Structure 1
Amino acid sequence: MFSNVIVKKPGKSYVEGLTTSNLGTPNYEELLIQHENYVEALKRCNVEVTYLEKDEVYPDSTFVEDTAVLTKDFAVVTNPGAQSRNGEIIAMEPVLKGFYDKIYHIDAPGTLDGGDILQADDTFYIGISARTNEEGAEQLKSILEGEGYRAHIVPLKEFFHLKTGIAYIGNNKMVLAGEFIDDELFASYDKIVIPKDDEYSANCILVNDYVIIPSGYPATKEKLQAAGHQVIELPMSEFQKQDGGLSCLSLRF
């Protein structure tokens, strides 16, 4: 169960942020509406929301997930792989110190984005991607194992971040798309398989009694409901234009 969530308002500079998509320029006013809907959905899930003000210096800083890896007992401040985002951790660390006494760091030359880290109970999966390198992955693995967790490193072949195509929704249930569907590393989980056309909806988040998914994916919603979950749907078009998904927009702990 989560008690706290950290989110950050997107600034006007967001439209100039990093992206690999060809979905067009985000509409800032619509973006703000979608972000507020996201925050309201989190409140519905019975968590305390820490709402950080926008930072125009860092266009991608609303994607707070990439700045840290959080557990119930300690935090790990990351070292984001995109140079233009690295300064985001400077603003985040004082916020984390309000919640944690024990804070670790990923040090250069290691790089690590929080979007490449998935926790499934006492096991972590660490993706190696364009943003997370092997050195950063090994540093996090060492930290986690030193704290009593299991950790597996997962080199990515297709997805931008690990959590672009996978989500853990509790009770041994894993939402999987693309390269993860037949990966033996996830063979022990009860799989909810997302087909190619619906891959974006694989980036969903379990927040206490609800699973939040992007709107427009009725088949995914039906599968999650059949698995016994209450589902909240949210429009995500303006975040998708910048390679963002539901998990990217919050730190949940």
Structure 2
Amino acid sequence: MFKNVIVRVPSRSISEGITSVDYGTPVYEKAIVQHENYVSALTKCGVNVTVLGPQEEFPDSCFVEDVALCTSKCAIITRPGAESRRKEAILPDMLEALEGFYENIERIEAPGTVEAGDIMMVGDHFYIGESARTNREGANQMIAILEKYGLTGSIVEMKEMLHLKTGLAYLENNNLLVAGEFKTAPEFEKFNRIEIEMNEAYGANCIWVNDTVIVPEGYPIVQKKIEDLGYKVLVVDTSEYRKIDGGLSCLSLRF
């Protein structure tokens, strides 16, 4: 169960965020409303939400998931693969927030790169995607740190998705949403895999928070498949964040 969540309010510079898609430019006013609704949904799941202020210098800084991995034993400050995001991982307010919750804080060091959007937690095991943003050195450092605290990790090779969790969402109880290249990945054969077609692949980026699953708006097939598993579902519009490669999981640290 999660007790705490950290989020960051998007900045006006969000329109300059990194993107690999052509869905238009994020509208700041809409992004703010969507973020407020996101925080509201999290609150309904019974967690305490820490809201950090916007950082105009960093257009992607609302995607706090990438800059730290929060485990049951420690927090690990990452070293983002996107160079423009490196300093996000050492912003004083984020470090202060993490220090308020964790005695043990570790760091990924150069030449390793890790973005925690590439890391999926299943119990005490962490699947780490080797992607354009997370390299083998960073993944190995992450596994070594996890093992120091009695946790485990393994590397998943990727070829297509931006981040591991772009096409995966673990919903607890062995249920795993899978899209794209992960449908046939041998690492996930033991799970009850709920396959999501590419036309709804963005909808696969859901988050489980204390037996409720928050689902992006506009993906009715994904929503129905999750409801059919017996979960309570909350729907949140993240369309402005999709324009800069962001989804539901990217917008928060959950622990």
Residue aligned with 1:86, SS:
helix
Q: Distance in 2 between matches of 1:142 and 1:90?
A: 21
**Counterpart AA for 1:8:** R
Task: Tell me if structure 1 keeps the 8 A contact 2:176–2:191.
Answer: yes
- Residue among 140, 143, 152 paired with 2:142: 140
Residue 95 of structure 2: aligned partner? 93
**Counterpart AA for 2:82:** A
**Counterpart AA for 1:124:** F
Q: What do the CA deviations read for 1:194-234 (whole angstroms, capped 9, x no partner)?
A: 11111001110001021001111111111111111001111
Task: Tell me if structure 1 keeps the 8 A contact 2:7–2:50.
Answer: yes
Q: Distance in 2 between matches of 1:90 and 1:144?
A: 20
Q: Distance in 1 between matches of 2:149 and 2:176?
A: 24
What does residue range 232-251 of structure 1 map to in structure 2 within 5 Å?
232-251=234-253
How far off is 1:128 after superposition?
1.0
- Whether 1:42 aligns to 2:42 is yes
Q: Distance in 1 between matches of 2:135 and 2:88?
A: 18
Q: Distance in 1 between matches of 2:95 and 2:164?
A: 23
- Residue among 127, 130, 147 paired with 1:128: 130
Structure 1 runs (4+) greater than 3 angstroms displaced: none
Q: Distance in 1 between matches of 2:10 and 2:99?
A: 22
TM-score, normalised relative to structure 1 = 0.98
Identity of counterpart residues, as a percentage? 52
What does residue range 13-52 of structure 1 map to in structure 2 within 5 Å?
13-52=13-52
How far off is 1:17 after superposition?
1.3
What does residue range 53-64 of structure 1 map to in structure 2 within 5 Å?
53-64=53-64
Count of residue correspondences: 253
TM-score, normalised relative to structure 2 = 0.98
Q: Distance in 2 between matches of 1:194 and 1:108?
A: 36
Q: Distance in 2 between matches of 1:107 and 1:183?
A: 29
Give the gaps of 5 or more residues in structure 2.
none
Residue 202 of structure 2: aligned partner? 200
Q: What do the CA deviations read for 1:139-179 (whole angstroms, capped 9, x no partner)?
A: 00111122222211011111000000001000111111111
CA RMSD of aligned residues (A): 0.8
